[in-house]
Copies of this chain bind each other. A is one copy, B any other.
């Protein structure tokens, strides 16, 4: 269980880290909004603890941007400000819980656990779609258990589509999530990699999974019909 602490007060980070470590969490920390946002988006944490008052962009902006970029980990705001307005704003920007400093460490732990428990319900570590299976951690892709060797782009495309199976992905959205840049509009990189992906999957007898929605984008079909 990994936790990211975004908090500029290093003493507090120290205390938090100790408490969390004692309870079996591994902790990473960031001391500015930008740094925190970057770390949060770079690798997945089971929970993010976030201060509001930060140098640079503040905590509210961090959650908001994080959600915009499709970050899905639960976010707990830890703030000295206890006004209802602040709480409301926090939740509205996309936070999942709000605790006021000073806080009781036992309560913090159970709240963090609760958030993780909820989030874990929905997210199995293994992505799957029928006979296809994708492990984001080891980056292995299998059909019927036999390994399919995918290149980086192929894997990333498949992963993002599998994370939201049945949803239609525009090329813009895919480029944003896989390449982390703006979509050119004239380029057909996405098309090409989708073709490669299809070829490889077809070689393993897994057709028809990736549908093209003409004029819109692609989607991976999982389930009925």
A binding-site residues for B, Cβ under 8 Å: 72, 74, 84, 87-88, 91-92, 95-97, 104, 106-107, 110-111, 113-114, 118-119, 121-122, 124, 137-140, 147, 151-152, 166-168, 213-216, 219, 225
Contact = CB atoms under 8 A, between A and B. Distances in A.
A45 to B, nearest CB: 16
Q: Say whether chain A's binding surface is mostly helix, strand, loop, or mixed.
A: mixed
A138 B219 contact: yes
A217 to B, nearest CB: 9
A74 to B, nearest CB: 7
A168 B139 contact: yes
Nearest to A95: B114
A138 B168 contact: yes
Contact of A168 (B95, B137, B151): B137
A123 to B, nearest CB: 10
B114 A152 contact: no
B111 A147 contact: no
